[in-house]
Amino acid sequence: MNTDTSAALVLFSGGQDSTVCLAWALARFDRVEMVGFDYGQRHHAELAARPRIIEKLRLIFPGFAPRLGEDHLLPLDTLKAIGGSALTETIKIEMGANGLPTTFVPGRNVMFLTAAAALGYRRGISELVGGMCETDFSGYPDCRDETVQAAAKALSLGLARDVKVHTPLMWIDKAATWRLAEELGGAALVDIIVEETVTCYEGDRSQRHDWGYGCGQCPACELRAAGYDKYKAA
């Protein structure tokens, strides 16, 4: 199958980081498709945010509109069946005995990349874009650059073609992620992130903060809030 190097497939959850990555891809590729994953996450509000964000990008950024391709949503409920994570079960969010937070979903990003690469194979796309980051993150080992690039190498071998995984946020903190959003789309993109994206592990859309909606107490909200404060203070 021919591969279109001018096209990209963005792992798009509906959260802050993946929205910035989507804008990053739209600024660099002629055609951008999106893929989200329904893995039984408790913060299902994130998935509900995806179509709203895409529609806002089409309406507010005419230059992005013709580049936005198909949006795909794939079921990966195996992760919920395995269980044991605060993201898929009613488990207290805290540090586990293994040194990782209970929000860790084992193998999640590796499975996401595998599913995205398989979809990309069928769509003729080998350029993947993900929001993994090991600067401001919760310590998940599958967010690390070494893991992501090892997965890309394995997928390249397994699919017999070069699979590239772009991670524009890998080496920047959350404040720099807010700045990148401003660089890519100005105040309009920052506003979309504040008003529409969902990063909160609880999926809380009832509480509005300067940085957006969320419970304000989970690790994802704390990272987002601290990054926003640092971004605004600069």
pLDDT digits (tens, 9 = 90+) for 22-42: 999 999 999 999 999 999 898
pLDDT at 4: 61
Average pLDDT (140-167) is 97
pLDDT class of 3 with cuts at 50, 70, 90: low
- Does pTM surpass 0.75? yes
Q: Where are the domains of the chain?
A: 7-199
**Confidence class for position 200, pLDDT limits 50, 70, 90:** very high
Give yes or no for residue 133 having a pLDDT over 70: yes
Indicate the helix (H) or strand (E) that contains 9: strand 7-11
Closest C-alpha to 33, from 108, 113, 127: 127
For the cut 60, the answer to whether the pLDDT of residue 88 exceeds it is yes
- The tens digit of pLDDT for each residue in 41-68 reads 987 899 999 999 999 999 999 999 999 9
Residue 144 is which amino acid?
R
- pLDDT given for residue 95 in this prediction: 82
Alpha helices in the chain (DSSP H): 16-26, 45-60, 78-82, 108-123, 145-159, 174-196, 219-233
Pairing of strands 127-129, 164-166: parallel
The confidence score (pLDDT) of residue 139 equals 83
- How large is the angle between the packed helices 45-60 and 174-196, nearest 10 degrees? 90
The b-or-e profile of 77-91 (16+ CB within 10 A means b, else e) is eebbeeeebbbbeee
Q: Residue 199 and residue 188: Cα distance in Å, rounded?
A: 19
Fold for 7-199, please state it. Rossmann fold (3.40.50)
- Has residue 86 got a pLDDT over 90? no
Report, as an integer, the average pLDDT of 134-144: 86
Which is more confidently placed, 184 or 137? Answer: 184
pLDDT of 25 reads 98
List the single range of 14-28, 33-47, 156-170 with lowest mean pLDDT: 33-47
pLDDT over 90 (residue 115): yes
Q: Please count the other Cβ atoms lying within 10 Å of the Cβ belonging to residue 112.
A: 25
Q: Above 70 in pLDDT, residue 116? A: yes
Residues contacting residue 113 through CB under 8 Å, at least 6 positions apart: 11, 128, 130, 148, 151, 152, 155, 165
Tokens read off for 196: 């529409």
Report whether pLDDT(119) > 80: yes
Mean pLDDT over each residue of the chain, to the nearest integer: 94
